Amino acid sequence: MQHFVITGGAGFIGSNLIRALLKQQPSCTITCIDNLDSFYAIEIKKNNLAEFANETRFRFLQFDIANNAAENLLELIPEKVDVIIHLAAKAGVRPSIANPLIYQKNNIIGTQNLLDFAKLKNCTQFIFASSSSVYGNNTNFPWNENEKLLPISPYAMTKLSGEMLGHIFHKLYGIRFIALRFFTAYGPGQRPDLAIHKFLKNILNNEPIPIFGNGTTSRDYTYIDDIISALLAAIVYTKTNFEIINIGNNYSIALKDLVAEIEKTIGKKAVLHYMPEQPGEVFKTMADITKAMQLLNYQPQMQLHDGLNLFYEWLLKNKEILNP
C-alpha cells in the first residue's frame, strides 16, 4: 500500500491528481496538504476536496509548509511516505512583482521545508511542479530543457530555485527529484484568475476581456488530463535520479486566436479591452516535449477546441460555486 503526500492538493492540478490516484491505485493512501491560501476563493478549494470527504484512503491536513519546519509536519504524518508530489506554490506572475518576498517565502522556503521532510522520512521519490516561466523571453522555440534560463519575474525565479534545491537534495541525500515544467494548464477546475477561465466568464457576463498588448502573445496550453498523465508517469519513474522535463502540448496559440476559439465554443462574441503590456509576462511559450515522450511515454491527447468544450461544460455545471 503506497502512501502519497500531495501538497497543494485542494487546487486545480492537485485535486485532479488525487482523483486519478484513488481510481488508478485502489490500495493507496493519500495525505493532502494545503493551507487554503486566499489567492482565489477558498470555497472553490473546499469544493474540490468535497468529493473525497467520505474516502477512507484520503486525509486532509490544513497546514502551511512555508511557516513550519519539517519536524512539525513529521508529528502530523508519522506513517511511511513513499512519494511526495509538491504542487503547492504561491501562484501568479504579476502579483509576484508587487510582493516578491512573500513568493520567496512560500515557494522557496516551503520547498526547502518539504525536502527536509522528505529527508527525515527517508522518502526517495520527490515530484516538483515547476513552470515554463523559468525560460523567460528566450526566442529559441520550441524550448528544450537545456536552454539558457533567464526568468523575468519573482515567481519564475522561485520555481527555478525549487529546481536547484531539488538538485542539491538529490546530490547530498539521494532523493530522486523529478521537476515537471508545466506549460499553462487548463481544463475543468482551472483557477479563476487564468485566461481561459476569466475569458469565458467575462463573455458570459457581457464584460470586456482584458487584452494586455496587441493580442499576439501566445501560450502552449496543456489540458489537465495530459498534465495528470505526466504526473502519474513521474511518480513511478526510476531510470535516473534527477530530471527536469517539459510538460506541454508542443503548440502555441496567440491570445487573439484563443479568444476566437472561445467565441466559437460558447457561440458569443467577446468585447475586447486593450491594455498596456504587463511587466514579467513572457511573449511566447512553446514546449519541446521530446524528453517527456522518451522518459515518461508522454503523449498529449487533447485538442484545444475539445478541451475548451469540456471546460465550458464544467463552468456551466458549477456556476453557483464559481459566482460567474
Catalytic residues: 155
Residue matched to cell numbers 495528470: 228
Neighbour count for residue 272 (Cβ, 10 Å): 14
Among candidates 159, 160, 69, which has minimal Cα distance to 119? 69
* Euclidean distance between CA atoms 100 and 182, whole angstroms: 21
Alpha helices in 53-184 (DSSP H): 70-76, 93-98, 100-103, 110-120, 154-173
Q: Yes or no: say if 211 and 63 are a contact pair by the CB < 8 Å rule.
A: no
Dihedral, CA atoms, 185, 190, 196, 197, nearest 10 degrees? -170
What distances in angstroms separate CA 189 from CA 196, 240, 274, one per listed residue? 11, 32, 27
Beta-bridged to residue 212, according to DSSP, are 275
Beta strands in 226-323 (DSSP E): 242-247, 253-254, 272-275
Residue of 271, 251, 187 lying closest to 223 (CA atoms): 187
Number of residues that make up the chain: 324
Packing angle, helices 12-24 and 42-50, rounded to 10: 10
Whole-angstrom distance between the N-terminal and C-terminal Cα of the chain?
41
Distance from chain centroid for Cα 116: 22
Place of cell 468529493: 51
Cα distances from 288 to residues 107, 217, 234, 244, 293, in angstroms, run 25, 18, 17, 12, 10
